[in-house]
Structure 1
Amino acid sequence: MWVSAIRSVSGKNLRSKFLSIRRKSTFAAAQLSSSFSDSSSDELTISTPNSIGSDIEDHLHQFDTNRVIEFLKRLKSEPKQAISFFYDVKKRGFRHNVETYVSIIRILCSWGSSRLLQDLLLEVIKSNEEELGFDISDLLEVLLENLEVEVTSSLVTVIDAFVKAYVSLGMFDESIDVLFQTRRRGLMPCIYTCNYLINRLIEQRKLDMAEAIYQQLKRMGLNPDVFSYNLMIKAFCKKGHLEEAVNVFKEMEDAGVNPNEFSYGTLIEGLCSLQKSGVAYEVLKAWRCSAVPFDNIAYDMVVQGFCNENKLSEAETVLLDIENQGLTPGAYFFGALIHAYCKKGNIRKALFFQNEMLLKGVKMNCVIVSSILQCLCSMGYFTEVLSQFKAYKDARVFLDEICYNIAVNALCKSGRVEEALELLEEMRHINMVPDLIHYTTLINGYCLEGKVFDACNAFEEMKAKGIEPDITACNILVGGFARNGCAKEALRFLDYMKDQGLTPDVVTQNKIIKGLCIGGKVREAEMFLNSLEEKHPDNFSAMIHGYCEAGRTREAFGLFSHLYKQRIFLNKKTCMKLLTSLCMDGEVESAFVLVEKFLGSEDDPCIIMHSKLMAALCNSGNLEKARWVFDKWIKRGLIPDAIMYTIMINGYCKSNCMLKAIELLNDMKGRGTTPDVITFTVLLDGCFKTSLKKTHPRRKISLGKEVAKIESRIRSEMSEMQLKPDVVCYTVLIDKSCKLNEIEDAMKLFHEMMDYGLQPDTVTYTALLSGCCRVHDVDRAVTLVDAMTSQGLQPDQVTMSVLEHGILKIKKVQISH
């Protein structure tokens, strides 16, 4: 019944509005017709709306300014019809002047028709003086004189419309000049108009101009409102002037203007953008304690700020704060944390917060999913990518094109291109159209598998579907040709790119150089490099990478040395690649020369390079040179990190120099570098092995006590630092117990690590098997092998050798008895 009643009322209202519109149209037509009739006649001719145009054409020659103004006066109560008439007569040849514009503007002002007025002024501003027949300044002057006398509110409306019209065209100087016209006539500008202008200036990054207007308004005695203050906080934050932003906030409070949620939000957002998220968090807490309504989005801004600054422990503190307030963080909050940990490559933490998010009932979204999948993919965990992708799909989480592309990429890099094709087909079934990125990923997959023909087919299919290949897709295909030994095809494809309007760039050239080297065509790569008219330093970097990939490290080092002498310096990535290859190939002296001679004078030395060199020198037994590199780092005023210290300590441990290792540990703590679990593991292993080598068989009992004392001290330090042993550390401790024939202690450690959720690896099982065999416990050894295989770990050659040797030894003992 209530539905029919609403329909009845709606129908009556509609009919009454329709009749009203018809009456107004008839009245307007009557007025138009009478204005064209003989002035001496008292007869009123009524014209229908359809006849208005013909009447204008019939009497257009009689129109003059006075008649137009007179008619506009008669339509002053109908602004829409007035503006329609204004445009209509202009369209039919009448040329408006200042007087007619003033007349229509008065009508629009009186009715507050700001939108119509702004559109009218936009048209005026866009026209040149020749088209108008007058200058805009003349129109503005007349308007100011007339409206100032009549109604001040109309003057404000005109100024506001002029300012907005100029601003919309990007004519900020003109808009500022118009704004201050009111001041020249003794009137204050409207604060709302000022705010509009300042806001648009800030949006266009004209921050100095915005600040100048704000200061000028204050000098004129105009009191800013809360929106004005908020805008200036925003402007100062964008300029990076933190102190000025805070001062505006204080100024607002001193002026008796109460900050609102936008004031706090703007300041917090600005502080976070200036890498001052800690200060922003303090502002948030002050806001929370104030009477101003609190917006939970402030937490999102602060946690995003901490994540951008890589202060993830502080971000987690905000999470605890939210929970203490009885609130539940949203998807954006968790997404920021998850993305930050993914960016660091800490997938364990990212998945932890994903689980926390789901436990709190917060729904996953495709943005968070893509962060996790991309992190797994970049770490090479392709199986995990596909497992997670399936889990999200089964949980009915919406997966967008980006998520699908990551899964396709994982399949391609796993050598499962056929399954990648099936996934692309699945996309089509759910109305997702594979785009350029998906096809590029597929082409890359084919190239990695060496299926260049299939890559070309995918390339052609993409073009057939109307998707134009870009430079990235072409670079991948030309690189595929090169890395699969198709040198001629790669060069021909360069010509094809040029024909398609795509200019091969340095990346294209480098793809060919590196690809040819990987494909065993080093000579062709050299010839291609030499054929380039203009050689970029990155081209030489590609050649060095290619030499390294082809196992020709000496040629790589020779080219690097030659370039260095010619003052051509290559990037750190290339230096790192070369250093790694030199160290792996045993070219330690060349690696030493690379760091000492070529990279030693850098203002910003790379700690990773120095660490790699130290590790190579230690492995080659050259501790003296390794220590020289270490000490030189300190002489530069730089503090070695935990990795650098651990490498040097490990070198001393392997060389039975335990006193030097312990001294270095003390030096490490003295310089404020915190040892990690790897450092202590190295020391534990070193202490035990050193004692074992120096101990006579008759001192077996004292050995156990000595090692136990050192172990106890190190484990005590680890406990004080709240460092828990990892798999490697437990394996060292288990191996020690096994070698001391303390198999029960070893098993206790084994079960302890399992209780802590640590999964033993093949090395751990091998150490335990060795211990069991030493004490002739074959049954336990067989049980361990079964447990190992049940957990998906296959015994390797070393494990099987240990087991066979142990069983054989036991049999010999049994025979002898």
Structure 2
Amino acid sequence: MSKTLLSRITPRNSCNSQSPSKIPSRIKKLVIELCNILTTRNTNWEEAIETRLSEEEIVPSDIAHQVFDKIRDVESGLKFLDWISLRPYGCPLDGIAYSSLLKLLAKSKAFHEIDSVFVRMKCENEVPTNDAFGVLIRSYSECGLIDKAFEFYTLAVQRYNSVPNVFACNSLLNGLVKNDRMETAHQVYDEMLQRNNSVGTECCADNYSTCIMVSAFCKKGKVEAARKKAFLLFEELKLKGFLPAVETYGAIINGLSKEGNFSLVDKLMHEMKARGLVINVQVYNTMIDAQCRHGSKTKAVEILENMIEIGCGPDIITYNILICDSCRHGKVKEAEELVEHAARRGLRPNKLTYTPLLNAYCRQNDTNKALDLFVKMVNNGEKPDLLAYNSLIHGIVGLGEIETAIIILEKMTEREVFPDAGVYNVLINGLCKKGKLAAANNLLSKMLDQNIPPDKFIYATLIDGFIRHQEINKARKLFELAVQKGKNLDVIVYNAMIKGYCKNGNLDEAVSCVKKMIRSHISPDEFTYSTIIDGYAKHHDINGALVMFNRMVKQNCKPNVVTYTSLIYGFCQRGDDLGAEKLSETKGIRDCPVVFAALLYGICLEGKAKEWNTMISCSMNESELLVAVKYMSIFNQYAPQGSISEASLILQMLIDDVRSKHQVSVN
């Protein structure tokens, strides 16, 4: 404890005013003995403590702060406090003793006990030392209890007219900016600077304090205004004679680089060099990363070459940034050359080097290279993480090699890298596409056994898989199970189930499902309504389709091409050419190949072969013409033989196929 702090507190006796180095050896020995008595759970500990204090002729309160400083066990410390408080002759503690106890409690995160001690201190009109406030602020800040930390900070400022030490204030600053309380953080920072400017006071702000503030402004919302504010603060500090360190420059350069303000970054770099500051590899990495993100890979490589030229050796992070960018743009060969370049410089590739390459190989369907790299990664002592396994499994499933992916899942678990919902989703999706629904369902059970909560995509994938294979009851059972478990389902899961009901002609259940999702505060989208409209149309209920269409419009849900195609299809089924033509004239709809196909279907149903030429002559683009030619060949094959029904059946199948593909692109 500093002399400055001690001078603000009037000592009650000689023991409390002595610094640790001046405490007599007999007192030090006594403190150690008392701590041992308190922590060894001696049944006669009260008598033992009383005897030793009597032998030394010392009042308990005179030595309490030293005991609290020495002891490390919260329970024993509180036991000693209670014993002192209950003694018949009374020996109240002073602020220093209470402060030592508070520091013990704070270090052990005993926050409830801290509140109790504060109540006791208030009753006895005692106040913690500034040093104790500092420890409390750090402890509460590190645990995310920012309101309480700021409360202690305010009490300390009001009591001592100065801020606590720099470590406590920096912890508070960190907590405030993480909770986006920038105004309060700025207040604390200003008070720290004012304290720094006072004559004869210890340092209450340092470069780390400034770095916290500058970084916070740079990260706040990632908008230009916040970065300008950070830069203004930075310039203001320099005018006040505050010389920023490399870390502070690095923070502002990071913000400016993300914004793409590279001209100002160059100015700061020159300023650092003029001040004799050595620009470290972290600052260069920030600039290289920003150049890559802004599409200036050539400039990023120039920075790398300049680093090597001036003797600032790039680290593996430098190369990882460039490798990741190359892989992101599909330049696998370039990424491989960067890996070799890093190795020639004696840098050891790590999992962040390998994973982007692994992902790139999988995207290019080069499973052999991906597996070879994976083996190389393991042989080099790098333990693949969840991201690496996820990339490999995703790529292998994409190639349809689901069995291989399952084996990798097993190996992954053996190596104590445990899959998340994303990995299971990829595997379940692959199994469903292969029609292996039992295996997919088993994976879901495995997830639940491992306490991995399935996400909405897994439920949607499995429900859709059951529906595609005509297992509506299993789909319904899984859906109802998810609802019962209170899973956070969204429109995707409901749409999968609604699609199943419509496909099986259960339109009442589909509508009921829509009502259920609305009650769950989930808004139906255009896919929801279009699916039900299509269901009504296919079951020759154009009136039901129109009712749902009107509801869709009233809910401000914009109909899409799929919606109109379904209605046109329904009108054609009913033989209402006028209704179909009127809908097809909706702006932006007639030019769509799917709508064109639906109109052709109507012509086919009516047997109006002579209208083919009219339809073709009205074609607006090449895609319509291609559709017309395809359908004309079908019509010509069956219609002359009087097989209009066969022609219309095949056309209906083709329309469904075209519509489903278009629907995927819409959603």
**Could you say whether these structures have the same fold, taking a TM-score greater than 0.5 normalized by the shorter chain as the test?**
yes
Structure 2 contact 533–563 (Cα < 8 Å) conserved: yes
What is the identity percentage for the equivalent residue pairs of Structure 1 and Structure 2? 18
Structure 2 counterparts to residues 510-549 of structure 1, below 5 A = 510-516=530-536, 524-534=544-554, 536=556, 538-546=558-566
Cα deviation per residue 1:649-700 (whole Å; 9 max; x = unaligned)?
xxxxxxxxxxxxxxxxxxxxxxxxxxxxxxxxxxxxxxxxxxxxxxxxxxxx
Structure 2 contact 138–168 (Cα < 8 Å) conserved: no
Structure 2 counterparts to residues 786-797 of structure 1, below 5 A = none
**Could you tell me which residue of structure 2 aligns to residue 191 of structure 1?**
207
Structure 1 contact 490–512 (Cα < 8 Å) conserved: yes
| 1:446 and 2:466 are equivalent in the alignment | yes
Cα distance 1:587–1:374, how it changes in 2: closer, same or farther (>3 A)? farther
**Could you tell me which residue of structure 2 aligns to residue 266 of structure 1?**
286
| 1:348 and 2:348 are equivalent in the alignment | no
Which residue identity is paired with 2:190?
A: D
Shift of 1:96: 9.0
| 1:105 and 2:130 are equivalent in the alignment | yes
Structure 2 contact 361–369 (Cα < 8 Å) conserved: no
- State the alpha-carbon separation in 2 of the partners of residues 317 and 587 from structure 1: 59
| 1:251 and 2:271 are equivalent in the alignment | yes
Structure 2 counterparts to residues 562-577 of structure 1, below 5 A = 562-564=585-587, 575=592, 577=594
**Could you tell me which residue of structure 2 aligns to residue 471 of structure 1?**
491
| 1:414 and 2:439 are equivalent in the alignment | no
Structure 2 counterparts to residues 131-170 of structure 1, below 5 A = 138-139=158-159, 142-143=161-162, 167=177, 170=181
2:85 to 37, 50, 53: 53
Structure 1 contact 118–165 (Cα < 8 Å) conserved: yes
Shift of 1:370: 3.8
Shift of 1:212: 1.9
Q: Which secondary structure does the structure 1 equivalent of 2:162 belong to?
A: helix
Cα deviation per residue 1:591-616 (whole Å; 9 max; x = unaligned)?
886756xxxxxxxxxxxxx6x46867
Give the length in aligned residue pairs: 541
Structure 2 contact 553–559 (Cα < 8 Å) conserved: no
**Could you tell me which residue of structure 1 aligns to residue 251 of structure 2?**
231
Cα deviation per residue 1:487-543 (whole Å; 9 max; x = unaligned)?
222112223334445443444223323455567766643442134352656424331
Structure 1 contact 76–107 (Cα < 8 Å) conserved: yes
Structure 1 contact 579–591 (Cα < 8 Å) conserved: no
Which residue identity is paired with 1:172?
A: A
Which residue identity is paired with 1:143?
A: S
Which residue identity is paired with 1:178?
A: E
Shift of 1:143: 3.0
| 1:175 and 2:188 are equivalent in the alignment | yes
Structure 1 contact 163–178 (Cα < 8 Å) conserved: no
Structure 2 contact 517–523 (Cα < 8 Å) conserved: yes
Cα distance 1:338–1:563, how it changes in 2: closer, same or farther (>3 A)? farther
- State the alpha-carbon separation in 2 of the partners of residues 183 and 229 from structure 1: 20
- State the alpha-carbon separation in 2 of the partners of residues 395 and 158 from structure 1: 47
Shift of 1:550: 8.6
1:19 to 24, 27, 33: 33
Structure 2 contact 359–391 (Cα < 8 Å) conserved: yes
- State the alpha-carbon separation in 1 of the partners of residues 627 and 557 from structure 2: 28
**Could you tell me which residue of structure 1 aligns to residue 234 of structure 2?**
214
Shift of 1:449: 1.9
| 1:336 and 2:349 are equivalent in the alignment | no
Structure 1 contact 506–536 (Cα < 8 Å) conserved: no
Which residue identity is paired with 2:465?
A: G
- State the alpha-carbon separation in 1 of the partners of residues 347 and 172 from structure 2: 47
Cα distance 1:29–1:139, how it changes in 2: closer, same or farther (>3 A)? farther
Cα distance 1:428–1:220, how it changes in 2: closer, same or farther (>3 A)? closer
| 1:278 and 2:291 are equivalent in the alignment | no
Cα distance 1:593–1:420, how it changes in 2: closer, same or farther (>3 A)? same
- State the alpha-carbon separation in 2 of the partners of residues 161 and 329 from structure 1: 35
- State the alpha-carbon separation in 2 of the partners of residues 297 and 556 from structure 1: 64
**Could you tell me which residue of structure 2 aligns to residue 404 of structure 1?**
424
Structure 2 contact 545–567 (Cα < 8 Å) conserved: no
Cα deviation per residue 1:353-400 (whole Å; 9 max; x = unaligned)?
44344356467655345445546767xx6xx24243245357667672
**Could you tell me which residue of structure 2 aligns to residue 358 of structure 1?**
375
**Could you tell me which residue of structure 2 aligns to residue 783 of structure 1?**
none
Cα root mean square deviation, aligned: 5.2
Cα distance 1:558–1:221, how it changes in 2: closer, same or farther (>3 A)? farther
Cα distance 1:460–1:93, how it changes in 2: closer, same or farther (>3 A)? same
- State the alpha-carbon separation in 2 of the partners of residues 198 and 497 from structure 1: 46
- State the alpha-carbon separation in 1 of the partners of residues 89 and 616 from structure 2: 93
Shift of 1:301: 1.5
- State the alpha-carbon separation in 2 of the partners of residues 160 and 399 from structure 1: 37
Which residue identity is paired with 2:194?
A: Q
**Could you tell me which residue of structure 2 aligns to residue 682 of structure 1?**
none
| 1:201 and 2:217 are equivalent in the alignment | yes
- State the alpha-carbon separation in 1 of the partners of residues 401 and 303 from structure 2: 40
- State the alpha-carbon separation in 1 of the partners of residues 630 and 597 from structure 2: 14
- State the alpha-carbon separation in 2 of the partners of residues 57 and 544 from structure 1: 92
Cα distance 1:197–1:419, how it changes in 2: closer, same or farther (>3 A)? closer
| 1:92 and 2:115 are equivalent in the alignment | no
Task: Please identify, of 298-307 and 181-190, the stretch whose mean Cα deviation from structure 2 is larger.
Answer: 181-190
Cα distance 1:330–1:94, how it changes in 2: closer, same or farther (>3 A)? closer
Structure 2 counterparts to residues 533-682 of structure 1, below 5 A = 533-534=553-554, 536=556, 538-546=558-566, 558=581, 561-564=584-587, 575=592, 577-578=594-595, 595=620, 612=623
Shift of 1:329: 4.2
- State the alpha-carbon separation in 2 of the partners of residues 395 and 90 from structure 1: 55
Q: Which secondary structure does the structure 2 equivalent of 1:532 belong to?
A: helix
Structure 2 contact 358–373 (Cα < 8 Å) conserved: no
1:504 to 524, 534, 549: 524
Structure 1 contact 191–224 (Cα < 8 Å) conserved: yes
Structure 1 contact 90–96 (Cα < 8 Å) conserved: no
Structure 2 contact 564–583 (Cα < 8 Å) conserved: yes
Which residue identity is paired with 2:249?
A: Y
- State the alpha-carbon separation in 2 of the partners of residues 497 and 143 from structure 1: 57
- State the alpha-carbon separation in 1 of the partners of residues 335 and 583 from structure 2: 44
Structure 1 contact 275–309 (Cα < 8 Å) conserved: no
Q: Which secondary structure does the structure 1 equivalent of 2:211 belong to?
A: helix
TM-score (norm 1): 0.54
Structure 2 contact 571–579 (Cα < 8 Å) conserved: no
Q: Which secondary structure does the structure 1 equivalent of 2:276 belong to?
A: coil
| 1:302 and 2:322 are equivalent in the alignment | yes
Shift of 1:221: 2.1
Shift of 1:481: 0.7
Structure 1 contact 271–277 (Cα < 8 Å) conserved: yes
Shift of 1:472: 2.4
Cα distance 1:341–1:117, how it changes in 2: closer, same or farther (>3 A)? closer
- State the alpha-carbon separation in 1 of the partners of residues 319 and 80 from structure 2: 63
| 1:489 and 2:506 are equivalent in the alignment | no
Shift of 1:320: 4.8
Structure 2 contact 138–167 (Cα < 8 Å) conserved: no
Cα distance 1:390–1:17, how it changes in 2: closer, same or farther (>3 A)? farther
TM-score (norm 2): 0.64
Task: Please identify, of 506-515 and 50-59, the stretch whose mean Cα deviation from structure 2 is larger.
Answer: 50-59
Shift of 1:91: 0.7
Cα distance 1:552–1:319, how it changes in 2: closer, same or farther (>3 A)? farther
- State the alpha-carbon separation in 2 of the partners of residues 475 and 244 from structure 1: 51
Cα distance 1:166–1:372, how it changes in 2: closer, same or farther (>3 A)? closer
Which residue identity is paired with 2:271?
A: E
Structure 1 contact 485–520 (Cα < 8 Å) conserved: no
Which residue identity is paired with 1:50?
A: D
Structure 1 contact 29–52 (Cα < 8 Å) conserved: no
Which residue identity is paired with 1:367?
A: L
Which residue identity is paired with 1:198?
A: V
